[in-house]
Amino acid sequence: MGIKWSAVGVSEAMDIVEGFVKQAAEPLESARLVAAQAKNIANLPDYMKDRISRLLFAIERIDAVKGAIKAVRETIPDGAIEAEREQTKNGVTVALI
């Protein structure tokens, strides 16, 4: 039995999400570098270092986002995208049942 959701739609959505993440990656890396430098400010109290460490951790979660995108892609059943594209190659057909 075929899937009832659009594997192509999910794949295309992940392409868009991945594009936005790639756009954000460079500015986030710049932010990470500045925050890391801020941790080295002279006489910085420990509570400020802790807050900056939390900020760095949050920035580094971009890798978790990339991993989540990969997990979505890996969850699409093998061959589902190709099968859906083949099925709709000559136009969308509507099930009458």
- Write phi, then psi, for 79 (nearest 5 degrees): 80, -5
Structural domain includes residue 35: yes
Is residue 64 over pLDDT 80? yes
In the predicted model, what is the mean pLDDT of residues 11-29?
Answer: 96
The range of the structural domain enclosing residue 11 comes to: 7-77
Question: Whose structure tokens read 């709709």?
Answer: 88
| 57 in any annotated domain | yes
DSSP letter, residue 41: S
Q: Judge whether 95 lies within some domain.
A: no
Q: What is the DSSP string of 53-80?
A: HHHHHHHHTHHHHHHHHHHHHHHSPTTH
Q: What is the pTM of this model?
A: 0.75
84-97 pLDDT per residue, tens: 988 888 766 555 55
pLDDT at 32 over 80: yes
3-state helix, strand, coil in the chain (%, to 5): 70, 0, 30
